[in-house]
Structure 1
Amino acid sequence: MVAVLNELAAREPVERTPDPGDRRRNVITLTASGRRRLRKLGQILDTAQAELLAPLSTAEREQLTRLPGRIVEYHAYRSPIMGPDGR
Structure 2
Amino acid sequence: MKSFIASCRPAFTKRFWFKLTLVYTLVSLVGIKSLISVFDFIIHYRHFNEAMQPAAVLQTVAERLKPVRRLIESAALDT
Q: What TM-score do you get using the length of structure 2 for normalisation? A: 0.36
Q: What TM-score do you get using the length of structure 1 for normalisation? A: 0.33
Q: Which has the larger radius of gyration?
A: 2
Bigger relative contact order, structure 1 or 2 (CA pairs below 8 A, ≥6 apart):
1
Q: Larger helix proportion, structure 1 or 2?
A: 2
Q: Larger strand proportion, structure 1 or 2?
A: 1
